[in-house]
Structure 1
Amino acid sequence: MTVALFTLGGTIAMAGSTQGVVSRLTGADLTAAVPGLDAVPLDVHDVDAVPSAALTYPQLLALVEAAGAAVAGGATGAVVTQGTDTLEETAYLADLVWPHEAPLVFTGAMRNPTLAGPDGPANLLAAARVAAAPAARDLGVLVAFHDEIHAARFIRKTHSTSTATFASPDAGPLGHVIEGEVRVLTRPPRHAPLPPVDADRLAGTRVALHTVTLDDDPALLDRLATGLDGLVVAGFGVGHVPPAFAPVLGELAARMPVVLTSRTGAGSVLRDTYGAVGSERDLRHRGLLPGGLLHPYRAKVLLRLLLAGGAGRAEVAAAFTRYG
């Protein structure tokens, strides 16, 4: 029942210094600080001790490959510890390519070990228990935090400092860890993983995100779109933009995939309810692709992987219909 543990940096691995807290703790340090963790045999792999803001797609794909090799070699599941700044994106990226029934569980901390009541040890223990639990199999990539179990495809970081920061606004948690027992309450169907992506092609694939704001300037889009392969737009509400944006976005959609999402953080963009210039219906008729329930950060991850994998417009549209 060995669980493979892959440690990155982030708050969970930080120690004090004269210049603030920095990533210093190894996997051995982390596991030694967790009462009860010895009940789950761990195979510890220290990877890149960097803040999550410094992580890249190639690093994450290499980590997923290493975790996959561990479960193919007999590990019951795998755990990744990292910073929480980008965890909702890294976990979703992993979920898009994770083909195994064994769980891959991401976790971290909001309170570093130099503070009273650090949450890292409890989160690591919960993640290890989830990774070892038969009930967590075939759920894809998960996030274990605050004794809640979330699907990577639904998770959001909702607060900058709260230890209960991670939530799934559209779906709720899949389950909980209660008195050490992993309780899975709901099992959403999994999507088939995306095909492998060539690292060189991924490095050359450029996708941007523009969040629309009040009285925004559409000229910014022309400057932003230079050299892009794809664009994600985070619109108001159910997928609306200022009227002046509509023709500019239509022109861009004729050149590249442009995905329409909502900046609200929960709920879906609509398709056919509103008809004014700049509404979701108008933008769809101009060639924008509805992102459905995908929030902008996840949509950007999905679009970049699709384009790096050589997907054409029809394949991109079909994928967003399926994943959104």
Structure 2
Amino acid sequence: MTHISVIAMGGTIAMVPGSSGGVVPALTAADLLAAVPGLADVTITAQTLRSLPSPSLGFADLVALSQAVRAEIDAGAEGVVVTHGTDTIEETAIFLDLTVDSDTPVVVTGAMRHPASAGADGPANLYAAVRVAASEAARGLGALVVMSDEVHGARFVRKGHTSSTAAFVSPGFGPLGLVVEGEPRLRGTPRIPLHLPATDRVTELRVGLVTVALGDDGELLRRGGDAFDGIVLAGLGAGHVPATMVPTVADLAAKIPVVLASRTGSGPVLRQTYGYPGSERDLLDRGLLHAGFLDPAKARVLLLLLLADNADRDRITASFDYYR
């Protein structure tokens, strides 16, 4: 029988009505598994590592999670499933993708509807996640997110809706596969050959994510730039900023790594189409680094892990080039 380890972190999938109104995390990994039929043919071990809403998770929690996942794999788990809140599931998935150096499937799942609601999706998502984690076809694909019977790669997936059970999408790429009648049907997309350590140093660094907006003059960056060890700039369109921001952005890029991403939610930052002040060509020429197709939140996780590993500018550039 395939040995699967389930690690619970909290989130909507584990929430029950609280005494003061609304739902709060309370269910353990064992509680979640008890609500899922059809897993008698799989050996499952369960542990509850955290019981938090995902907005309250921090990088110290992700370091502990990465260590727990690697410990389960070292102990013989043939697949690992992490239950997690959906608000930050994509950041946790890319963190695991980068820090768990193993072909063993690591699958993150959650729920959009809490267990006490009509049509709760948690049990079905957990069932599908276990099936994917137990699949030989999932080996070597890196961390995966399984929601609504779709299998998404960690580097592609993002939450695209506040409440729909079909909230998770992979813009521009689509899912890596589906779960049909309990059977994962996957197409191979090997993981990025990049591995970074998960150490406590990530908690000592601060990487900012700043979204550019119409009429932005860069005052936020001027006031807060010195507080950061690195910045991800979620630029307009294909990677653009207003001309009034350029001096501030260029000054920061001369001091710390500034990664240029797009706030659009789909598609890579361009490199050489536009040439006006504040265009992608202008910003890259001024020392900003190219995020490729990574969305701003994922680019922030990668930059933080690189800085925590003392990566220099050339290594940071080469690492982001994997996501061209």
Residue 227 of structure 1 corresponds to which residue in structure 2?
227
Asked if 1:104 is matched to 2:122, the reply is: no
SS in 2 for 1:105: strand
Residue 145 of structure 1 corresponds to which residue in structure 2?
147
2:130, 2:222 → 1: CA distance?
A: 47
- After TM superposition, the score normalised by the length of structure 2 is 0.97
2:227, 2:86 → 1: CA distance?
A: 30
Residue 306 of structure 2 corresponds to which residue in structure 1?
306
Match of 1:159 among 161, 175, 180: 161
Residue 190 of structure 2 corresponds to which residue in structure 1?
189
1:315, 1:105 → 2: CA distance?
A: 28
CA pair 198-8 structure 1, distance change in 2 beyond 3 A: closer
1:26-37 alignment, distance < 5 Å: 26-37=28-39
SS in 1 for 2:27: coil
Instruction: Determine if contact 1:240/1:279 at 8 Å carries over to the other structure.
Output: yes
Instruction: Determine if contact 2:142/2:190 at 8 Å carries over to the other structure.
Output: no
Residue 8 of structure 2 corresponds to which residue in structure 1?
7
Letter in 1 for 2:3: T
Residue 263 of structure 2 corresponds to which residue in structure 1?
263
1:102, 1:198 → 2: CA distance?
A: 21
1:81, 1:22 → 2: CA distance?
A: 15
Instruction: Determine if contact 2:30/2:47 at 8 Å carries over to the other structure.
Output: no
Instruction: Determine if contact 1:99/1:192 at 8 Å carries over to the other structure.
Output: no
Instruction: Determine if contact 2:4/2:130 at 8 Å carries over to the other structure.
Output: yes
1:93, 1:221 → 2: CA distance?
A: 26
- Following TM superposition, by how much is the alpha carbon of 1:233 offset from its aligned partner in structure 2, in angstroms? 0.5
Instruction: Determine if contact 1:107/1:127 at 8 Å carries over to the other structure.
Output: yes
Residue 57 of structure 1 corresponds to which residue in structure 2?
59
Deviations 1:146-167 (A, max 9, x none): 0011111100100000000011
Instruction: Determine if contact 1:98/1:193 at 8 Å carries over to the other structure.
Output: no
2:219, 2:85 → 1: CA distance?
A: 35
CA pair 102-251 structure 1, distance change in 2 beyond 3 A: same
Instruction: Determine if contact 2:217/2:242 at 8 Å carries over to the other structure.
Output: no
Residue 251 of structure 2 corresponds to which residue in structure 1?
251
Structure 1 ranges of 4+ moved more than 4 A: none
2:59, 2:194 → 1: CA distance?
A: 16
2:135, 2:271 → 1: CA distance?
A: 40
- Following TM superposition, by how much is the alpha carbon of 1:121 offset from its aligned partner in structure 2, in angstroms? 0.2
Instruction: Name the count of aligned residue pairs.
Output: 322
Instruction: Determine if contact 1:61/1:94 at 8 Å carries over to the other structure.
Output: no
1:110, 1:165 → 2: CA distance?
A: 8
Deviations 1:128-179 (A, max 9, x none): 0001111111111001110011111100100000000011012111111101
Instruction: Determine if contact 1:15/1:23 at 8 Å carries over to the other structure.
Output: yes
Structure 1 residues without counterparts, runs of 5 or longer: none
Structure 2 residues without counterparts, runs of 5 or longer: none
- After TM superposition, the score normalised by the length of structure 1 is 0.97
Fraction of identical pairs, as percent: 52
Deviations 1:170-203 (A, max 9, x none): 211111110111111x22232224232431x222
Residue 81 of structure 2 corresponds to which residue in structure 1?
79
1:145, 1:195 → 2: CA distance?
A: 26
- Following TM superposition, by how much is the alpha carbon of 1:127 offset from its aligned partner in structure 2, in angstroms? 0.3
Instruction: Determine if contact 2:197/2:305 at 8 Å carries over to the other structure.
Output: no
1:36, 1:44 → 2: CA distance?
A: 16
Match of 1:135 among 131, 137, 160: 137
Letter in 2 for 1:241: V
2:55, 2:284 → 1: CA distance?
A: 33
Using the TM superposition, name which of 163-172 and 187-196 deviates more.
187-196
